[in-house]
Amino acid sequence: MYYLVANWKSEMDFHQVKAWCFTFLDSINYDIGNLNQQEIKVILGPSYLYLRFVQQTFSRIPFIYIASQDVSPLGKGKYTGFVPAESVKDFCEYAIVGHSERRKHARESEEEIKKKLAECKKHGVKTILCVRETKDQLYASDIVAYEPVEAIGTGANADATHVVEMKKKLKPAKGQAYLYGGSADDKNIDDYLATGEVDGFLVGTASLDPKKFFAMFQKMLGNER
């Protein structure tokens, strides 16, 4: 199984999200019968505001799933501004946890990340755990995404050999998919796919362009596992 995850961060307003969705929908609709049979999951991560809209737009496409970019480490309660897993589960199947930008700007601790993972598990939300290097703890999750800090949004993607070496060091559990994130785009994913060790990609900048994202999708469909 391949995974192609779009992390839109805080980049798009509603009009841009709407245009993106309709463009991508047009791209896949022309051959939807064949695409349904493929071993790939496309996971779209809009901001909280647009989870419902994106969910409804792609509700009839069986290989497209929705992800929250984050969840609260707390449950429901008097926590102003927090969005718990129990709430996002109505709009998405996945949640991104521990992204490097959350660790940096929100100063997330390992303890907070563990609590977020626990809340997701409690409420049936699958998790995409982001790790930067081996110093970040690899907890139980459905997917682990390796994202070297120097490659995030810089255009300087990591060498495929390094990504494979990190997989050996991180040692994902059996059944825990291993993704690469860090300036991955339609021009450079072939090298990672060729290793046979990468199960997909967590995509930031390139995911903002629906045509580039669809090009990545097509390349992954055409790659033999």
Half-sphere exposure of 159 (CA within 13 A, CB side): 3
- pLDDT tens digit string along 139-156? 999 999 999 877 676 677
Q: Which residues does the annotation mark as catalytic?
A: 99, 147
C-beta atoms surrounding 188 within 10 Å? 17
> What is the Cα Rg of the chain in Å?
16
C-beta atoms surrounding 106 within 10 Å? 11
- pLDDT tens digit string along 210-221? 999 999 999 998
Q: What is the DSSP letter of 64?
A: E
Domain that holds residue 158: 2-221
Question: What are the residues whose beta carbons fall under 8 Å from the beta carbon of 133, sequence distance 6 or more?
Answer: 148, 166
- pLDDT tens digit string along 76-91? 999 999 999 999 999 9
Say how far residue 71 (Cα) sits from the centre of its chain: 14
Residue 222 has what pLDDT? 78
As for how many domains the chain has, the answer is: 1
Q: Are 66 and 54 in contact (CB under 8 A)?
A: yes
Of the given ranges (14-23, 27-36, 47-56, 170-179), which has the lowest mean pLDDT? 27-36
Q: Is the pLDDT of residue 37 over 60?
A: no
What is the model's pTM?
Answer: 0.94
Residue 7 has what pLDDT? 98
Q: Burial code of 60-82, b = ≥16 C-beta within 10 A, e = fewer?
A: ebebbbbbbbbbbbbbeeeeeee
Residue 38 has what pLDDT? 67
Residue 156 has what pLDDT? 79
CATH number of the CATH domain containing 186:
3.20.20.70
Q: 94-97 and 2-7 as β-strands: parallel, antiparallel, unpaired?
A: unpaired
**Residue 135 pLDDT level (bands cut at 50, 70, 90):** confident
